[in-house]
Structure 1
Amino acid sequence: MSNQRPPTIDPVAAGHWQRVAPATSPWLHEEVGRRMEDRLQWIRLDPKTWADWEPVRGGLEAHALVERRYPQAHTYVYEPHPQRAALARQQLARPWWRRWSAAPVQHGAVPDGAAQMLWANMALHMAADPESLLAAWHRALAAEGFLMFSCLGPDTLQELRGIYAALGWPPPAHEFTDMHDWGDMLAHAGFADPVMDMERITITWENPQRLLQELRGLGANLHPRRFGGLRGRAWRERLERELASALRDADGRLALTFEIIYGHAVKPRPRFKVAGESAVSLDDMRAMLRPGAGKSP
């Protein structure tokens, strides 16, 4: 992908955010997860194994919805950071009377080719190297398994970007990738049949203080040209005045737009060109010969 296209992310800032992100599931993430889970009704494949990629930030309530839809499926939970991994173990632990009757939950890295579905809610737009993340998801999926993901799109915070631009300030957030570019990256990562769609959600607040508090919980500004240091009280007070003036809707509340992108793609079975002599790994040979080859979710 060209470096001129989003995401415009400072990798050092992205790494720092991944380490310090609150161990909570923001309301917006839970709502997006609920809407994405509803889309599973259109998927024909009933996965026997599925993986939730960073469910603490992605939404623990959304995780429960998926688990309820696939009650007999073996679940992998991937949380790479210790604090959130501990919380995931605590929050997703089953009561003792269900431990022997319910399908198992495995915490830690997802073995290559283990998951028939990989669920990744609201993670991709914070990745400094999204192609590497897509490649990791591709490795975790079994052949003919499918990916379900969501992320923020480029119209997110358009009103806030307008305020910052009018004041001559650096961008308030990094740029978010368009769904068509995500489709290209999915194909480049080896996925097939990508299906992308989007919607816009408007969230309102009663005052600038609550708005800024919730934005801090949703993420951080990872733009390379963001403000280089801390701002003082006078700057914060001016920002609050600008928000209160520019974001009022018809009901007198402060409104911001969030563009939500939903993506679905399949990991196809390996295909090889016919040649005089070909080398095929044992795992790929097993995938090609497995019963049901050629079907898709």
Structure 2
Amino acid sequence: MTQSISWLQDEIADRMLQKLDIVKLDVKDILIAPDFPGKHLGALSKRFPKAQIISVVDEDVSDFQLWRAKALSNLRSLFGSSISPFASYASSGKFDILDNSVDLIFSNLLLQDLADPKHFLQESWRVLRKGGLIVFSYLGPDTGKELRLQSIKGLKLKNLLSPWDMHDMGDALLAERFSDPVMDMEYLSLEYERSDLLLADARAMKLFDITPLGAIENDVLPQKLTLELIYGHAWVIGKHLAKSKDKVAYVDVKQIGRKARSDSA
């Protein structure tokens, strides 16, 4: 996702923060993944002023935006915040932080760009402490459905990398040992007066391959674009639990201790 739809990133982040208002959480360390770039750092710094923040910057940011994000991070040097490029996670599939090191993961509009979000959930489980929380949003499979309902010459559509709907994600959270997942969904309808603006947003959301605007006739384009926004959060409670099967979590036999027995004569 590129910066051309920064307004959407800001809007959804605000909605995620509003949903956090009802959550009681003692936060010492936060992971923001991704941070578009450094925008969410300021909002979460105000919400949790004593927390250390790791802000994982989106790989598509410009040099200036990366510099700005680092400058904002330096303002919080007393609290130990840091900036790291998202490209390192994209290439390795791992966050460069220790196990059990954060209390909150804040992930805005990322999962739809991952072919298999379960790896992100596994990494999140690894770095979250017991009692930690993952909060996320992503675009659901109905996003851009108007473009798929009609054949548009010169426009090669493609599906989002992750086709997971709200129920798929809820099941995946349970399978990866998260507890009490809460999922929510809403449709956001965007209306356009100019076709080039619709195409710019659709391209930023990776709904089609890059196509020259001149190859598309404006009169065949829809004037509206629907976004399916999916929100979710889940807790890390039993880090000793093995992965679940059929929505039932099982205790890893290695975690079962043996109590010594003393026989009296």
Q: Report the equivalent of 1:144.
A: 131
User: Counterpart in 1 of 2:40?
Assistant: 62
Q: Which residue of 1 aligns with 2:234?
A: 265
Out of 148, 156, 180, the position equivalent to 2:143 is 156
Structure 1 match to 2:198: 211
Give the Cα separation in 1 of the matches to 2:27 and 2:227: 31
Q: Match for residue 106 of structure 1?
A: 82
Which structure dedicates a bigger proportion of its chain to helix? 1
Change (3 A) 1:179 1:61: same
Conservation of the 8 A alpha-carbon contact between 2:155 and 2:211: no
CA distance change for structure 1 residues 24 and 116 in 2, over 3 Å: closer, same or farther? farther
TM-score between both structures, scaled by the size of structure 2: 0.76
Bigger RCO of structures 1 and 2 (CA < 8 A, at least 6 apart): 1
Aligned counterparts of 2:66 and 2:154: Cα–Cα separation in 1: 42
Q: What's the offset of the Cα at 1:158?
A: 1.3
Structure-2 change in CA distance of 1:232 and 1:117 (3 Å): closer
8 Å CA contact 1:53, 1:78 repeated in 2: yes
- Partner in structure 2 of residue 123 of structure 1: 110
Q: Deviations over 1:140-169 (max 9, x none)?
A: 1111100000001122111111023x8798
1:74 to 31, 35, 52: 52
Question: Structure 1 residues 73, 86: closer, same or farther in 2, change over 3 A?
Answer: farther
Task: Provide the C-alpha distance between the structure 2 equivalents of 1:115 and 1:47, rounded to a whole number of angstroms.
Answer: 8
Number of matched pairs: 237
The one-letter code of the counterpart of 1:258 is L
Which residue does 1:46 correspond to in 2? 26
TM-score normalised to structure 1 length? 0.69
- Structure-2 change in CA distance of 1:88 and 1:117 (3 Å): farther
Distance 1:33 1:181 in 2: 22
The answer (yes or no) to whether the contact 1:117–1:146 under 8 Å persists in 2 is: yes
Contact 2:32–2:55 (CA under 8 A) maintained in structure 1 = yes
Q: Give 2:159's aligned residue.
A: 173
Structure 1's 52 and 88: CA in aligned 2 closer, same or farther, altered over 3 A?
A: farther
State the Cα RMSD in Å.
Answer: 3.3
- Match of 2:169, SS state, is helix
Q: Pick one of 207, 216, 226 that aligns with 1:237.
A: 216
Unmatched tracts of structure 1, length 5 or more: 1-20, 222-226, 248-253, 286-297
Counterpart CA distance in 2 for 1:209 and 1:168 is 14
